[in-house]
Structure 1
């Protein structure tokens, strides 16, 4: 039983690297896990389907955000951003990537919209990336850094939720810890992510990269970007009303804590304020689903896969089996625990959802061998974060791909998952082990 998760995740990774569509890869991996635990294909499929509702609200919010993004592109307001960037950052690729990473960081803590900004900001910039010969793998690394590092290290926005889960789950399993302790514990893993970002921007992806001119996207944002450099853009009433719609969507999301209601408010506002014609509603819906429908459905399938792994006891068996070979060395224990976290999170694609699974098994072990609460928090936080970058089913990778592939020139696995896995999981692992040993 303890080998089920390992074999299933390896199947998922192998199929993804062979360019099998991620939806099929996850389904096959789930079926393999079910068969290895003694379930029939029918039973595994039914269990997977029953678990797909776990992220239904997330999937719906992504589709609505895609529709809202298309409407914002239709308004023409993105042209101002593109034109200003062309003037300020032309030829300065490293600065451009750092600015994108900074904007992504704001989406986690200051303005907690998560990946909602990507389909609005990135597609209009694709022409600029191509003109500057920017390696889009570097852009993916910058985006994933901003989607991941802030919630790991900063106790605000999504970071407050993430670290709060660590506090509650550690307390529930017999080890009380303060939120400030968790924040301090995650400083070293956060430094590891910064190192990975700088390595990606200034070393790995600093050279020119030219992509083929042909794409397969029906979206109009690229045309807006291509003409933004040469047109005299005038701020109009429609642009002002678009800003109102964006502000309304943000305010509703923050008040209700619902991304679905926030996105729906933005869509309704764009119609109500006459920024977009009601008669073109079908077009906006179709293009929005084209942009974000894939990521929404992958999240649903990933939720079903997670249910197969958890309900069959495969994850618990893996951790229990690993704990029998840990011994008393803090270094060995840290390495094994982080490897388990890496496997689990790559499979289910959710660092937030991984915390309750691993905390219930890690905390008793840490208590027994004498890890401090801070070291335990570092282990759990890093183990949950490992694999989120690089997982085919994580919104930290699906989000960047949804924006960078708007013109059909960016591959989810080889251009997003593989680069982010290398640049973030390796330093996270190293600095996570270091934190567990020294804290």
Structure 2
């Protein structure tokens, strides 16, 4: 069996068996490296070298977790959540609860979409917004799997289709992939080629809202007093809003999540709202919570480096070419499946595109596919794993927020639902796009 395929299968199976994701990624990388003939020492060396590439992202997530903890400590989110919960309890009618659910679904989906294009902060909003809302979700008995599907949709759909914010980066990576192998395409052609494949995300979202619409019980960990909408000082509100705005503005201007989070944290400390020692304890707690995501991302970068250095991605495509026998439909399907496997292991569509583009473009051209068809295949193949990989920040981010009270499993409550609901429609619509464009 191909080393890349074997490594990804080992990682996924171990994750589904509830082994820690970091350990599953590490074991998968070892299996892939050894089966590719790299040897134990060389595999470990390559894995370690790859970890360094994710250090900036890991530090960013840790600091964002600390910043989110300070916002939560300020009490502003608990204040508004308490108001809403009290309103529901006073007027606990089916209509009130239904309207509240609809507002939450629409608002969170819109916010997630905006985080990719309009205000490109990616998952930075999740640890700030989601944890304080958990008690509200519990009160409404909302299935958190539905929330995970909504958030993942918002984190993936906009950048796949729209050439703004993170979408501009993603589309630019696709364009450069063509240029690196001597092909020229128009930047505006990319979003046109991704219209049909992106419908897979829309179908997945609709299915998720239908499948997970039934009530689901969760245990509310917080004390009942938390639901009381306590008064909050205007100055505290001012400082909190200023910290949030500073985080977004600094991140946008510096293009660094690290300095964005630091700006918000410094405003809290310099404002004098709370005691420094108390705030330091809260900051440390928040960093610990989000640091786990950073560790997973570091391990995922090591895994990706091993897979790239093994040279087995190229051989996987060659085997695919041999199996297709020149059949267009079979060739397109194989490319999509290979893209899914590679991205599941790497955990990032942005990192996957350069790898698969160098292989898929010549192969697609030899099969007589148009440039739009090849673009749709590459874009779809990259997005496939992003929507369901245990190592993807598009699944890690939602889990970090929804599992703050330990009642949301990363694999079974985030990855499995997003994988099933998004990847199957993506393959179908990606295949249609490649065949008709």
Range into which the TM-score falls when normalised by the shorter chain: over 0.9
Q: Measure how far apart 1:95 and its partner are.
A: 4.3
Contact 1:342 1:384 in 2 (8 A): yes
2:237 equivalent to 1:239: yes
What corresponds to 2:283 in structure 1? 285
Structure 2 counterpart SS, 1:249: helix
What corresponds to 1:71 in structure 2? 70
After superposition, give the CA deviation of every residue in 1:64-83 in whole Å (9 maximum; x if it has no partner): 00000000111111134424
Q: Measure how far apart 1:290 and its partner are.
A: 2.7
Structure 2 counterpart SS, 1:91: helix
Contact 1:175 1:373 in 2 (8 A): no
Where do 5+ consecutive residues of structure 2 fail to align? 89-95
Tell me how far apart the structure 1 counterparts of residues 83 and 113 of structure 2 sit (CA, whole Å): 21
Q: Measure how far apart 1:234 and its partner are.
A: 4.3
Contact 1:82 1:228 in 2 (8 A): no
What corresponds to 1:218 in structure 2? none
After superposition, give the CA deviation of every residue in 1:121-145 in whole Å (9 maximum; x if it has no partner): 0000111111111111011001100
| Residues 187-336 of structure 1: pairs in structure 2 closer than 5 A | 187-201=195-209, 203-213=210-220, 222=222, 227=225, 229-234=227-232, 236-336=234-334
Q: Measure how far apart 1:342 and its partner are.
A: 0.3
2:162 equivalent to 1:154: yes
Where do 5+ consecutive residues of structure 1 fail to align? 216-221
2:420 equivalent to 1:412: no
After superposition, give the CA deviation of every residue in 1:167-220 in whole Å (9 maximum; x if it has no partner): 11112212211121100111111111011001100x21011111245x5xxxxx
What corresponds to 1:116 in structure 2? 124
Tell me how far apart the structure 2 counterparts of residues 308 and 281 of structure 1 sit (CA, whole Å): 40
After superposition, give the CA deviation of every residue in 1:266-297 in whole Å (9 maximum; x if it has no partner): 11121112234322244123211232011000
Instruction: Report how many residues are paired.
Output: 428
Q: What TM-score, normalized by structure 2, do the two folds share? A: 0.94
Q: Measure how far apart 1:94 and its partner are.
A: 4.4
Question: Which shows bigger deviation, 365-374 or 306-315?
Answer: 365-374
Q: Measure how far apart 1:324 and its partner are.
A: 2.4
Tell me how far apart the structure 2 counterparts of residues 85 and 151 of structure 1 sit (CA, whole Å): 32
What corresponds to 1:429 in structure 2? 427
Q: What TM-score, normalized by structure 1, do the two folds share? A: 0.94
| Residues 44-63 of structure 1: pairs in structure 2 closer than 5 A | 44-63=43-62
Tell me how far apart the structure 1 counterparts of residues 388 and 19 of structure 2 sit (CA, whole Å): 16
2:389 equivalent to 1:391: yes
Question: Which shows bigger deviation, 326-335 or 146-155?
Answer: 326-335
Give the alignment's Cα RMSD to 1 decimal: 1.7
